[in-house]
C-alpha cells in the first residue's frame, strides 16, 4: 500500500480529459497519489478514472443510463452530486484523503463544491473554476475552499491556463503533504459573531472565556460567517452561542449585502443551546458603494466604510423590526436566552468617535425587545457602550450563568 498522501481529483473525462490528465501529471510529479473521480454524464471514457461514472451514479441508487435518460441537465447533475459526495465520504473514511482538487465550469464547480462542502474542515480543498472571479458564495459556502481562476475557459491547455492548473496542483499537493487532521478540542466550545466595529468587545469576551478554559470560535458576520457559525453549531458539541453581531439579521430584513438568510441563528435555538444576544452592529445595514446605498436607502444617514461597502444608519422602524424578528426566532426555539442591551451605542460607528452615533435610538431596540421577547427571556439594559469593558464583562458573566444553569438541570 502506498504511503504517499492521497489526493482526490474530480473532473469529467467526457469534456475535460486533457485538463484532468495535465492536473494529474502535475500532482504525481509532486509525489502524491491521485484518485480520480469521473462524474461524467454524456459518456464513459475507458480506460478512465479510478472512480467511474457508473460508480458515481450507483452510489445514488441509479445506473448511469438511468441518469442519462432523465434528459435534464439539472436532474442529472443532482443524482451525480449525491453519488459523488457519498463516494468521497466513504473513501475518506476507508482510506483517508489528504486533499481534494476539482476542475469545472458552473456545472462542474457545483458538483465539486458539493463534495468539498461535505468534507471535514481542514482537509485541503482546491477548486479551479471559471466562477472564481464571479459570485463565489454558492461554491465556497461555509467551508474552507480555495478557488483558482483559470482566466480563460476550461478548453484545453494554453500559456495561461497551464500555469493556473499547475499552480493549483502544486498548491493542493503541498498542503496534502503537510496535512495533519486535528483532533477535536477537549475544551468546551463557545461560538461568537463579530465585526471589526465591535472588536474591543469581542476580544475581551474571547480572552476572558479562554482564560476560564473555553475554546471560543469567532465568526465574521458578513453573511457566510454567520452561516459557518450555524453549521459548526449543527455539527459540533457547542455549549453556548454569543450572538453579539446582528448585522446579518438586519440585512436579511432590509435586503442588505450581508444577509445570512431566514435561518440564521436557528441552529443553536433548535438544539436548546444557551444563547446570549447583544445588538452589536444593529445600528447599520450594509450596502455597496455610496451610489448604490443612496439608491437602495434614499434619505438615510450613511458612512462610507470603504469603496465597496457603505454602512447605512438604522432608525426606529428598522430597530423595532429587528427586535421583533429576533423575538420570533427565540419563540420558535428551545434555548435559554438572555438579551443584553447597551444604551450608549451598538458599534464603533455608533459612538462619539464614529460617524453614525445616535444613542437616542438604543432604547428603541431595548423597549421593542422587552415587549416582543417571551416572558422567560431576560432582557437587561446597561448604561454603557457595547465596546466598553463593563458590557463585555456582562456578556461573559451571563453566558457562564446560562451554561451553569443548563448543566444543573
- Whole-model pTM: value is 0.82
Question: CA Rg, the chain, in Å?
Answer: 24
Q: What is the mean pLDDT of the chain?
A: 95
pLDDT at position 383: 97
Query: 270: how many CB neighbours lie within 10 A of its CB?
Result: 17
Cell of 52: 467511474
**Could you give the strand order of the β-sheet that contains 378-382, starting from the edge strand earlier in sequence?**
215-220, 189-194, 238-243, 275-277, 337-342, 378-382
Strand partners, 73: none
Task: Give the span between the Cα atoms of 87 and 396, in whole angstroms.
Answer: 43
Domain ranges of the chain: 6-177, 189-408
Provide the CATH topology of domain 6-177. Rossmann fold (3.40.50)
pLDDT at position 257: 94
Task: Confirm if 187 and 238 have CB atoms less than 8 A apart.
Answer: no
Strand partners, 129: 104
pLDDT at position 268: 97
Task: Confirm if 240 and 397 have CB atoms less than 8 A apart.
Answer: no
DSSP E strand boundaries for 270-363: 275-277, 284-287, 302-304, 310-313, 337-342
Task: Confirm if 285 and 250 have CB atoms less than 8 A apart.
Answer: yes
In sequence order, the 6+-apart residues with CB closer than 8 A to the CB of 374 are 327, 330, 331
Task: Give the span between the Cα atoms of 100 and 136, in whole angstroms.
Answer: 18
Pairing of strands 215-220, 189-194: parallel
> pLDDT tens for residues 84-118?
999 999 999 999 999 999 999 989 999 999 999 99
Place of cell 416582543: 372
Quote the CATH superfamily of domain 189-408: Uncharacterised protein family UPF0261, NC domain (3.40.50.12030)
pLDDT at position 298: 95
Rounded to the nearest 5°, which phi and psi values hold at 167?
-60, -40
Residues of the chain with pLDDT under 50: none
Fold match between domain 6-177 and domain 189-408: yes
> Nearest-CA neighbor of 22 among 167, 121, 133, 198?
167
Torsion of CA 108, 111, 117, 123, to 10 degrees: -60
Task: Confirm if 302 and 312 have CB atoms less than 8 A apart.
Answer: yes
pLDDT at position 1: 60
Strand partners, 219: 193
Amino acid at each position: 500500500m502506498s504511503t504517499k498522501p492521497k489526493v482526490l481529483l474530480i473532473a469529467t473525462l467526457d469534456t475535460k480529459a486533457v485538463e484532468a490528465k495535465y492536473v494529474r501529471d502535475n500532482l504525481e510529479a509532486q509525489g502524491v497519489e491521485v484518485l480520480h473521480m469521473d462524474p461524467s454524464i454524456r459518456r464513459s471514457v475507458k480506460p478512465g478514472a479510478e472512480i467511474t461514472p457508473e460508480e458515481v451514479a450507483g452510489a445514488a441508487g441509479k445506473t448511469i443510463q438511468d441518469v442519462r435518460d432523465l434528459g435534464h441537465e439539472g436532474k442529472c447533475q443532482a443524482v451525480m452530486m449525491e453519488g459523488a459526495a457519498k463516494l468521497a465520504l466513504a473513501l475518506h473514511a476507508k482510506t483517508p484523503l489528504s486533499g481534494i482538487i476539482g476542475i469545472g465550469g458552473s456545472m462542474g464547480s457545483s458538483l465539486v463544491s458539493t463534495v468539498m462542502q461535505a468534507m471535514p474542515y481542514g482537509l485541503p480543498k482546491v477548486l479551479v473554476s471559471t466562477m472564481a472571479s464571479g459570485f463565489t458564495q454558492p461554491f465556497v459556502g461555509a467551508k474552507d475552499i480555495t478557488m483558482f481562476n483559470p482566466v480563460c475557459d476550461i478548453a484545453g491547455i494554453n500559456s495561461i491556463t497551464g500555469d493556473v492548473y499547475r499552480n493549483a496542483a502544486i498548491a493542493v499537493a503541498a498542503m496534502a503533504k503537510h496535512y495533519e487532521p486535528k483532533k477535536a478540542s477537549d475544551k468546551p466550545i463557545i461560538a461568537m459573531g463579530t465585526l471589526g466595529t465591535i472588536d474591543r468587545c469581542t476580544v475581551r469576551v474571547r480572552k476572558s472565556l479562554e482564560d476560564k478554559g473555553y475554546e471560543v470560535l469567532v465568526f465574521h458576520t458578513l453573511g457566510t460567517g454567520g452561516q459557518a457559525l450555524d453549521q459548526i453549531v449543527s455539527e459540533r458539541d457547542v455549549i453556548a452561542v454569543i450572538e453579539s453581531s446582528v448585522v446579518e439579521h438586519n440585512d436579511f430584513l432590509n435586503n442588505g449585502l450581508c444577509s445570512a438568510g431566514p435561518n440564521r441563528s436557528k441552529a443553536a435555538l433548535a438544539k436548546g443551546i444557551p444563547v446570549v444576544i447583544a445588538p452589536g452592529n444593529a445600528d447599520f445595514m450594509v450596502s455597496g458603494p455610496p451610489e448604490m446605498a443612496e439608491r437602495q436607502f434614499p434619505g438615510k444617514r450613511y458612512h462610507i466604510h470603504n469603496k465597496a461597502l457603505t454602512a447605512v444608519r438604522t432608525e426606529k422602524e428598522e430597530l423595532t423590526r429587528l427586535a421583533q424578528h429576533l423575538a420570533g426566532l427565540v419563540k420558535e426555539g428551545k434555548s435559554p436566552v438572555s438579551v443584553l442591551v447597551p444604551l450608549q451605542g451598538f458599534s464603533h460607528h455608533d459612538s462619539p468617535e464614529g460617524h453614525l452615533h445616535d444613542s437616542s435610538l438604543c432604547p428603541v431596540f431595548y423597549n421593542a425587545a422587552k415587549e416582543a421577547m417571551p416572558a422567560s427571556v431576560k432582557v437587561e439594559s446597561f448604561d454603557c457602550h457595547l465596546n466598553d469593558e463593563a458590557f463585555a464583562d456582562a456578556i461573559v458573566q451571563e453566558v457562564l450563568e446560562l451554561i451553569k444553569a443548563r448543566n444543573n438541570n
